[in-house]
Amino acid sequence: MRDLLCKCPKCDASLAFDRKLAGRTLCCPSCKGQIVVPVPDRTFICAACKYELVSGELWGGTEECPNCKAPVEVPLKFFSFFCPRCKLSVTSFRLRNYSGHLCQSEDLQ
């Protein structure tokens, strides 16, 4: 089952591997360069066929589902941290157009 999506760092080809291969070094089928299959850190579903996919390095964008070949949206990777001034928990998504202090941002009101 090829369900782990990633890209070749050498030729930028979109690749899909079995998640059991995570962490192993393999050859890219396109350029024959070496690629370390990433460890998956998020799960998402193909809207067309409901196939479960995982990604360890792709953040956002559209890739081809290895099961049905339909375009699938890869979710953005978010991180959270605390504002040092007000201790508010903030995600990176909420800060994409941020300038100024966290607790004064209009997005956070």
Predicted TM-score (pTM) of the model is 0.61
Determine the Cα–Cα distance for residues 56 and 44; give it in Å rounded to an integer: 12
Q: Is the dihedral of CA 7, 12, 14, 16 positive or negative?
A: negative
Tokens of 46: 């193909």
Determine the Cα–Cα distance for residues 50 and 97; give it in Å rounded to an integer: 33
Determine the average pLDDT of the residues in 11-24. 90
Q: Each residue of 54-63: pLDDT tens digit? A: 887 766 788 8
Cα-based distances in Å from 15 to 49, 85, 91: 19, 43, 29
